[in-house]
Amino acid sequence: MDKSAKTFLHQLLGTPSPTGFEITGQRVWAGYVKAFSDRVESDAYGSAWAVLEGKSPVKLMLEAHADEIGYMVKHVTKEGFIHVDRIGGSDYATARGRKLVFQGDKGPVKGIIGNTAIHIRDRTGGEKAPEVHELYVDVGADSEKDVAKLGLRVGHPAVYADTLEEFGEGRLCGRAIDNRMGGFIIAEVMRRLHKHQAKLPVTVIAANCVQEEIGGYGARMVTYRLQPDVAICLDVTHATDTPGIEKAKHGSVKLGAGPSVTHGTACHPLVVSKIEKVAAKEKIPLQHESSSRYSGTDTDSMYHIRSGTPCALVSLPLRYMHSVVELVDLKDVEHVIQLLTAFAMNLQPDENFAHQL
Ligand SMILES: [Zn+2]
């Protein structure tokens, strides 16, 4: 990864982008990708997309969701503590004792999720994870008024204070890798395609869509609007190679063993088969997952828009999803970039993904 890509990656993942409050992060994304695109546009709710015109108007959309999970101010007590609600699927079992950053009217405000000391906690009958409403955040205030003075009110969002770190041998660890890393990857794909624009067979749209974590709404709006001919959704997937995960239940995905491609439901067999062919040609390792009902990603929101868009799902293996220590391998990041870039370069303008009877 070169210096400018690395700077962008850390800036993108360091910018809070909780669902419903993605615009600051979207500006960082748009600011980077515009150098490798013919134009960058956005819609009312803040989904952003970059367009690179190819030799044909046939449109390939590469989509990744731009939002991350977080918390939101639900209630402020007289004593100045903040009760929170979850934005998306935040793992509140691991919340106590962690630091948060609220985005208030006067800028960022640090908070600590209170954790009663082990010595004085009531542990009779064993310990159980707290309910969300039992969590409280200490922002260093003594009263409701103090909290207001900090620029905080009900409805302000927060994310964990953790940022991206290099870890072990070629790995990255941090919060919001789900799926801010997807935004990074599709931007890098545009950077590589831009170098070969004269030979690019189709028009490529990189779409960084809002509001996935609460139901895939941004991707739905963008697919309806842009009407791609074929689309690939990029998200993270559970690496199941850590202790205690039953592979019979959750399948087998290994960190560092390459992008995963999903089979079934929203994932169109002909698009999936094209991905497999491109991976084989480029010698990119692939892992396989099944989707028998839902994929749980934006693919589910994209494929049935209007009269149907042939879609596929490519995933980046990730450990510890929705925690502050999400972990990915840079070899996988590079392989996903290579796979999506090669898919675009190998697409034929007259390639038809519609099933024929
Ligand atoms: Zn995700």
Q: pLDDT digits over 174-222, tens only?
A: 999 999 999 999 999 999 999 999 999 999 999 999 999 999 999 999 9
Ligand 1 midpoint to CA 80 (Å): 33
Q: What is the pLDDT of residue 127?
A: 84
Domains located in the chain, CATH noted = 3-68+175-346 (3.40.630.10), 70-160 (2.40.30.40)
CA–CA dist 182, 125 (Å, integer): 43
Q: Which residues of the chain have pLDDT under 50?
A: none
Ramachandran area for residue 76 (φ above 0: left; ψ -120 to 50: alpha; else beta): beta
DSSP characters over 211-271 = -TTTTSHHHHHHHHHH--SEEEEEEEEE---STT--HHHH----TTS--EEEEBTTB-HHH
Give the relative orientation of helices 330-346 and 177-195 as an angle to the nearest 10 degrees.
50
- What's the confidence (pLDDT) of residue 4? 93
Do residues 207 and 226 make contact, with C-beta atoms less than 8 angstroms apart?
yes
Going from the Cα of 128 to the center of ligand 1, the distance in angstroms, rounded, reads 27
User: Which residues are designated catalytic?
Assistant: 212
CA of residue 179 to ligand 1 center, whole Å? 5
CA of 124 to the centre of ligand 1 (A): 37
Between the CA of 356 and the centroid of ligand 1 the distance, in Å, is 33
Helix (H) or strand (E) holding 16: none
Q: How far is the CA of 237 from the centre of ligand 1 (A)?
A: 8
Q: Alpha helix locations (H) across the chain? A: 3-14, 23-33, 144-149, 177-195, 217-226, 247-250, 269-282, 299-302, 330-346
Number of neighbouring beta carbons within 10 Å of residue 45: 15
- DSSP reduced 3-state for 197: helix
> In angstroms, rounded to a whole number, what is the distance separating the alpha carbons of residues 161 and 324?
9
Within 10 angstroms of residue 131's Cβ, the number of other Cβ atoms is 8
Compute the mean pLDDT over every residue in the chain, rounded to the nearest whole number: 96
Structure-token pair, residue 252: 């087998």
Report how far ligand 1's centroid is from the alpha carbon of 182 (Å): 9
